[in-house]
Amino acid sequence: MVEAVRSRLGVTKVAVLGISGGSVVGLSMAAARPDLISVYAGTGQFVDWAAQDALSYQMVLAAARSARDGAAVAELEGSGRRPMPTPRPRRSSPNMPGR
C-alpha cells in the first residue's frame, strides 16, 4: 500500500499515521521498511494487546448475553482462549511487494 501511495504522489517516502489497531500495523510497517516511511505517528496506541483482547472479548460476550443472542454467545465461547497471543510483525506479505 505504501508503495502505491508513493507512486501515485510521486514521492520517495510517506508519513504514516496509525490509529488504534492500525498502530500495530503502522509501527510494524515503519520498522520493516524505514526506507519508505519519513515519519510514523500513532494515536490511540495498543499498548497491551493481551489486555485489550481480553477486555474486548468480555464486553462483546456480555452484550451478546444481555441480548440473549445464543448463537453469538456460542460462537464467542468457541472462538478460542483469551487473551489471544500477541501478534508478531510479519516480514513478508504477498500483498506488499518488495517486502
- pTM higher than 0.85, yes or no? no
End-to-end, the C-alpha distance of the chain in Å comes to 11
**pLDDT number for residue 62:** 95
What is the arithmetic mean of pLDDT over 72-77?
A: 94
Nine cell digits for residue 83: 487473551
Residue 34 predicted with pLDDT over 70 = yes
**Is residue 74 very low, low, confident or very high in pLDDT (cuts 50, 70, 90)?**
very high
DSSP 34: T
CA distance 99 to 92: 5
